[in-house]
Amino acid sequence: MKTRRLGTLDVSALGLGCMGMSVNYGPSPERADLIAFARAAFDRGVTLFDTAQVYGPFTNEDLVGEALEPLRDQVVISTKFGFDIDPADPRRRAISSRPELIRSSTEESLRRLRTDHIDLLYQHRVDPNVPIEDVAGTVRDLIDEGKVLHFGLSEAGADTIRRAHAVQPVSAVQNEYSLWARDPEPEVLPTCEALGIGFVPWSPLGQGFLTGAVSATATFGDDDIRSRFPRFTPEALVANQPIIDLVNEVAVGANATAAQVALAWLLSRGESVVPIPGTRKLHRLEENLAAADVALSADDLRRLDEATAGFGVAGARGSGHEHYG
């Protein structure tokens, strides 16, 4: 696996988004199978594993911690703080980055992850009630204490990134980015490039849409988060079908799959772009990782770029409430 750099942090060119191993996409496989799967990802060259306190909540960090404990010195674990979760009812949560909560959340993450340090700690969502300077300062203190090595932001806007970076250098920004979610391009990506910050696209395959496996007539159960996402309504799936039609067309010419084309396009956006596609199936993992070796032609890249830049995607991205803080 080729490597890339997030700030000063070396990682595999493609990481593994671990959220779906525990939540949001229907029943999970057996825990032993998921642990074996995470270790198989490492065997195939993945060194960046992405989780978060809120995934579960808590269960995904615990799973990742057990899976990677024997490999701890050879992998990069990223996790996130930023939610105040009711211990009596974990479904109740509110955005919060109060300094004392950042500290307690980090201690709990360290315990669940079975480690004495977090390689990359993100603010999961920007808290409008806490100055970003206070957030960055708290993470700076955790870095000084050796509990955290690198600082990241998720779903942050350009101004927030610059303000945080002035207090504590930001290694990575993790925002949604794909062929049907190009929101970071006007301001966030140029800011990251100017400041030497890596960029980690979450949902690089559009919650599965860009794999071509989601038909225009697809339906989703209540335990699948896409049943509540605006881009997966029946009307939106039909309206957005031209995107995947084009990706499939390019894939045929490139002797690749649709997923590989979508990931190769992202990898072409810059040497510090590191997508983290999520899966829990070994054949999908191997398909995704092979995207690092897919060379799209200049004409392929131009067609994808022009067509998706000018396409009015139906439905708000993510949960429908995503916005840069």
Catalytic residue among 25, 55, 122, 177: 55
User: For residues 92-123, b (16+ Cβ closer than 10 Å) or e, as one string?
Assistant: eeebbbbeebbbebbeebbebbbbebbbbbbb
User: Angle at CA 187, nearest 5°, toward 184 and 193?
Assistant: 90
Place of tokens 């060259």: 45
How far is 52 from 206, CA to CA, in rounded Å?
Answer: 19
User: For residues 152-161, b (16+ Cβ closer than 10 Å) or e, as one string?
Assistant: bbbbbbbebb
How far is 21 from 280, CA to CA, in rounded Å?
Answer: 6
Identify the DSSP state of 139.
H
Instruction: Number of helices (H) and strands (E) in the chain: give both, helices first.
Output: 11, 11
Query: Token pair of 149, please?
Result: 């090595």
Give catalytic status of residue 177 as yes or no. no
List all residues 6 or more positions away from 73 whose beta carbon is below 8 Å from its beta carbon: none
Q: Using CB atoms within 10 Å of the CB of residue 319, give its burial: 0 to 12 exposed, 13 to 18 middle, 19+ buried.
A: exposed
Q: Using CB atoms within 10 Å of the CB of residue 2, give its burial: 0 to 12 exposed, 13 to 18 middle, 19+ buried.
A: exposed
Query: Token pair of 11, please?
Result: 């990682």
Distance between terminal CA atoms of the chain?
A: 34
The alpha helices in the chain, defined as continuous H runs, are 31-43, 59-68, 99-113, 132-144, 158-167, 188-195, 234-239, 241-254, 258-267, 282-289, 298-309
How far is 131 from 164, CA to CA, in rounded Å?
Answer: 9
Q: Which residues belong to the active site?
A: 55
